[in-house]
Structure 1
């Protein structure tokens, strides 16, 4: 998902992710749910809700490098599933992580050297007791999957040569797994993971089957006394003009939102860095009052992407007995305009989310 484009990019739910397979997700992956994938040298811990202090659940991961930056760049969004925290900005956390390609290569080389060392030091008969005994879950691709044990390395102890064949117990003793940076927090629940596929919004407007929809749109504009261009101004930017587009039923912002979404009701995410967000209701404050500047470098923040209502129904767990859920109308993610990052940093940068509840949740169920 590129971070600069002429058109809005639409994120759609793709196939489910099966991390039991060899093709696991990495920080390159844009996805729904699951556990966030850490970047090399970045410690990504599970954040807590600022309101109720409960652990937050991972909602989406977006890989979005900037064309003018040498950094890999991934944004992870977390939410509180406590109903009292729904619709409140403090119940959400946005973390931005970055790394250089040299960090990726170093991590890959270190993992490769570690595997070679394990193979050289382990006795040849270590594969006799398990079909895949030499497969210890070390990632073949760059980036490790974020788990409860944040970084787990395979170490083997040297075994002095002996003429007598060792028994099975001595074989097992020659292998040991030591844990580094053990995460004290137990692994919590997670939403089912799905890949996110990306298309341009303009692809839908060019669809030959949209003529009828455009005709209905023109009829709506005549009936409500507001044009699509006027309603589109409600979508954001620094100079919104809400009074200009008051439809007869009094909710021009929501109408504009619904008409825009109707081009692709299945969209779970809209991406347009430095573009205009699509508000679902009229904001109580203007953008300068709503969105604080970057707390690290002081630069202003810019709109990057937003989560859409269709995502709500996809946020479910594999446990049928679990009642975890997140309710929202749309979540607008704002990030540092300069995407500041200190070389060698091992902590993600916290960004800002504006949460708008759904004026009529029934429309999306």
Structure 2
């Protein structure tokens, strides 16, 4: 008897492998904030409560006013999220109006970013940059020395140097690069150890931590913000990585090479490039949303700087962010007969709906989005802060949130926040400033 043919695929659960970590960070509630010092510390991310501002000058309370009813809105979330290798401390603030008459109208959800220049950290970044420049110059001189004599030794042409600093996200107090910068392959161990020493010093020096807290915290005594409406008690907003079950293996002919999914920093990002089929029969967008959220029903925030938003439904916002691609005209004659595949939609970061930054005119980039479970958390804070939900209870909570109709009146499915990709800090005269309070773009997909 011939030996059985070994297949390179299987639909057995045992062979599917472990869960896959994506490039998305999830914000989840993590108990009430009771420390007075942490309540006034802008570096403490939170759900509900009152804001703790970064800028030295407290912003006007009009920042939180609903553009429909003009009443101050409650703070939904505050996130500590400085860009990687940036001298600016950074926090994101999102307010939402619970007035039923303001739902489904632009201006009932607003987001602001607060920046403050951190001089001590800026000095460390400058020292790091100086070492990088010195190393690159030494490499250039070494290359010139090895070139043939016919090369002009006085040429000013130098190889293009990679940007030593890349954008990333230190989200909720943790470091998670959103777009990594490749380190030159010939980095010396000495340079690497020097940079590691700087990073280690930044993280471990208690005096710096105290300095940061002193720089970012502020009290609301004798301030109109103290009397502003708020969801209480405020909850810690903690970070959790998103894990998805691996995609099932497919049957492929023998001898065919299969490319691995796109990865970034060891994390699977192929989910970000999945196309949406253009179908009128079912709302595949909503089906995909509920399936993706169902893997971690406790999520309140999805954070992926420069990433891809997860649309809630097939509305005008989806049509703009995920446009139908251009296609060839349909064949009209038999000789021109060909198979026309269903049209697929992919995310367009250059969509016309993403208005440029009003300060620097730079592009907007996706940063994060609020999830339906946040409404449940804000509504049922008193009942859930001390209760550990089971998987079934979490799934039920997600379904209730997706159906809307909450007591607080908020009816959105998801709120997508797009920030200035430059994280600019310029005033009306085009000069750099140390404190920034800038409103960002919010696109709301309302409950269906």
Instruction: Give the TM-score, by structure 1 length.
Output: 0.63
Q: Secondary structure at the match of 2:89?
A: strand
Query: CA–CA distance in 2 between the matches of 1:12 and 1:51?
Result: 30
Q: Deviations for 1:291-316, whole angstroms, at most 9, x for unmatched residues?
A: 21111111110100000011111114
For residues 35 and 62 of structure 1, what CA distance do their matches in structure 2 show?
13
Contact kept? 1:189, 1:317, Cα under 8 Å? no
1:7 aligns to 2:23 (yes or no):
yes
Asked if the contact 1:13–1:195 (Cα under 8 Å) also holds between the matched residues in 2, the reply is: yes
1:295 aligns with 2:358: yes
Alignment of 1:161-310 (within 5 A): 183=224, 187-192=227-232, 193-201=234-242, 204-205=243-244, 242=276, 244-246=277-279, 249-284=281-316, 285-287=319-321, 288-310=351-373
Alpha-carbon distance, 1:75 to partner: 0.5
Q: Distance in 1 between matches of 2:26 and 2:302?
A: 5
CA contact (8 A) 2:302 2:371 kept: yes
Aligned partner of 1:31 in structure 2 is: 46
Aligned twin of 1:355: 444
Q: Distance in 2 between matches of 1:305 and 1:140?
A: 24
- Cα drift, residue 43 of structure 1: 2.2
Q: 1:96 to 1:254 in 2, by over 3 A?
A: same
For the residues of structure 1 that align with 2:222 and 2:381, how far apart are their CA atoms? 21
Equivalent residue for 1:101, pick from 118, 123, 128? 118
CA–CA separation in structure 2 for the residues paired with 1:148 and 1:71: 26
The answer for the alignment partner of 1:75 in structure 2 is 92
Q: Give the match for residue 403 of structure 2.
A: none
* Unpaired segments ≥5 residues, structure 2: 1-20, 123-210, 251-260, 262-268, 322-350, 384-406, 427-431
Residue of structure 1 equivalent to 2:14: none
Question: Contact conserved, 1:97 with 1:348, CA < 8 A, in 2?
Answer: yes
- 1:35/1:58 contact within 8 Å kept: yes
| Aligned with residue 344 of structure 1, among 417, 430, 433 | 433
Q: d(CA) in 2 for partners of 1:41 and 1:32? A: 23
Distance 1:59 1:66, change over 3 A: same
Task: Indicate the SS of the match to 1:68.
Answer: coil
2:425–2:436: 8 Å Cα contact kept in structure 1? no
Structure 1 residue 346: deviation in Å? 4.2
Match of 1:115 in 2: none
Would you say the 8 A contact 2:55–2:114 is kept in 1?
A: no
The match for 1:154 is none
Q: Is the 8 A contact 1:40 1:144 kept in 2?
A: no
Taking structure 1 as reference, are residues 23 and 339 closer, same or farther at Cα in structure 2, changes over 3 Å only? Answer: closer
Superposition CA RMSD, Å: 3.4
Q: Indicate how the Cα distance of structure 1 residues 353 and 40 shifts in structure 2: closer, same or farther if over 3 A, else same.
A: closer
Alignment of 1:84 onto 2:101: yes
CA–CA distance in structure 2, aligned partners of residues 306 and 266 of structure 1: 14
| TM-score, length basis structure 2 | 0.52
Q: Please state how far the C-alpha of 1:317 moved relative to its aligned partner.
A: 8.4
Match of 2:412 in 1: 328
Structure-1 separation of matches of 2:292 and 2:380? 30
User: Which stretches in structure 1 are left out of the alignment for 5+ residues?
Assistant: 106-138, 151-182, 219-228, 360-365
Q: Relative to structure 1, is the Cα distance of residues 70 and 23 closer, same or farther in structure 2, using a 3 angstrom cutoff?
A: closer
Aligned residues: 259
CA distance in 1, matches of 2:380, 2:312: 27
